[in-house]
């Protein structure tokens, strides 16, 4: 019904930059919030950044000042600009979209993830 697809991951040296992109498609109705999360093997998925339809943002303390989340409501996309990358940022990054249904309920959909590896 709803597809969420991430792209842009890869291998980068410490201090480098990457830009992740995410696109939501399908029976979207209305997207309230979109966000980026990351997960390392053996650990729970953690929030990286979220952004609402009116462009309010929330960042994990570990990425504040280095990462920037943005979205294009018309295109149903959200990007994550990652600067000054550290080895600790290595993880699989997941995008999600919170869909507001016409009858008022909300549903969250997740992408399959994209690998980000920060290593020299």
The whole-number pLDDT of residue 29 equals 80
* The two structure tokens encoding residue 13: 């040296």
Count the neighbouring beta carbons within 10 Å of the beta carbon of residue 74.
6
Question: Given pLDDT bands bounded at 50, 70 and 90, which one contains residue 30?
Answer: confident
Mean pLDDT of 98-104: 90
Q: What is the pLDDT of residues 39-92, one digit of tens each?
A: 999 999 999 999 999 999 999 999 999 999 999 989 999 999 999 999 999 999
CA dist., res. 93 & res. 115, Å (int):
6
Helix (H) or strand (E) holding 45: none
């Amino acid at each position: 019904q709803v597809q969420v697809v991430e792209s842009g991951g890869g291998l980068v040296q410490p201090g480098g930059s990457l830009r992740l992109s995410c696109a939501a498609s399908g029976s979207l109705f209305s997207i309230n919030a979109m966000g980026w999360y990351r997960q390392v093997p053996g650990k729970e998925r953690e929030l990286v950044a979220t952004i609402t339809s009116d462009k309010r943002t929330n960042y994990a303390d570990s990425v504040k000042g280095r990462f920037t989340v943005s979205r294009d409501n018309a295109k149903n996309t959200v990007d994550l600009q990652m600067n000054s990358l550290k080895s600790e940022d290595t993880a699989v990054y997941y995008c999600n979209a919170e869909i507001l249904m016409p009858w008022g309920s909300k549903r969250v959909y997740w992408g399959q993830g994209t690998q980000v590896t920060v290593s020299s």
